[in-house]
């Protein structure tokens, strides 16, 4: 049985391992640690293992998805969508009406995932990443 819960210090090593397998320029562990007090930092845990995580923040009065990843062997089973839905619930709870995010222009799978979850492309952001442009996406929540 799985649970989605707030991330804790003991989860950080497993989260960083997923991060390293998921992004060309992964976040270092201190960025995850600095979010431990953030109620929008959540994990999906199954049989005591961390399978995925998401971090919600804010940007210009919108809820803003900072990062989301699922272990590569566990993708395409709906876990990413469950984490995203939980972020949307948290954002609603805090009174936000809209959610934004950035995704690498080269990350077409990521963009498809967000489109399937109701996000639409808002604008392109040149040089947002060191190695790529970003697509900024948004949806009402
Ligand atoms: C993006 C990411 C978080 C999605 O996680 P996920 O658990 O695979 O997400 P879901 O399973 O909910 O949805 C992914 C796809 O699987 C499909 N899917 C969901 N459940 C399924 C099932 N039971 N059987 C088959 N396919 C399924 C969805 O329809 C979706 O299809 P799409 O790619 O055409 O939209 C994951 O691919 C990932 O970690 N990528 C690397 C990091 C990244 O790119 N993060 C996002 C950018 S910041």
In this prediction, residue 60 carries a pLDDT of 84
pLDDT of 113 above 90 = yes
In this prediction, residue 46 carries a pLDDT of 98
- Going 110 to 112 to 118 to 120, the CA torsion angle's sign is positive
Q: Domain residues of the chain, as ranges? A: 2-140
For the segment 49-67, the average pLDDT, to the nearest whole number, is: 95
**Percentage of residues in the chain with pLDDT exceeding 90?**
94
Instruction: Say if pTM beats, i.e. exceeds, 0.85.
Output: yes
Rounded distance from Cα 113 to ligand 1 centre (Å) = 6
> Measured between alpha carbons, how far is 57 from 48 in angstroms, rounded to an integer?
26
Rounded distance from Cα 95 to ligand 1 centre (Å) = 27
For residue 114, which atom of ligand 1 is closest to its CA? 35
Fold observed for domain 2-140: Aminopeptidase (3.40.630)
For the segment 66-90, the average pLDDT, to the nearest whole number, is: 98
In this prediction, residue 77 carries a pLDDT of 97
Name residues contacting ligand 1 (CB within 6 A).
22, 67-70, 75-81, 103, 107, 109-110, 112-113, 116
32 confidence band (pLDDT: 50, 70, 90):
very high
Atom 10, ligand 1: which residue's CA is nearest? 78
């Amino acid at each position: 049985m799985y649970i989605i819960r707030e991330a804790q210090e003991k989860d950080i090593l497993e989260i960083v391992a997923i991060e390293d397998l998921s992004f060309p320029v992964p976040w270092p562990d201190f960025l995850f640690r600095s979010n431990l007090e953030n109620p929008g930092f959540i994990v999906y845990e199954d049989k005591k293992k961390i399978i995925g995580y998401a971090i919600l923040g804010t940007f210009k009065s919108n809820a803003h998805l900072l990062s989301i990843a699922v272990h590569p062997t566990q993708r395409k089973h709906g876990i990413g969508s469950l984490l995203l839905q939980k972020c949307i619930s948290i954002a609603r709870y805090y009174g936000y009406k809209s959610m934004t995010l950035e995704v690498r222009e080269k990350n077409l799978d990521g963009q498809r995932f967000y489109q399937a979850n109701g996000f639409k492309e808002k604008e392109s952001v040149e040089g947002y990443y060191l190695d790529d442009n970003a697509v900024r996406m948004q949806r009402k929540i």
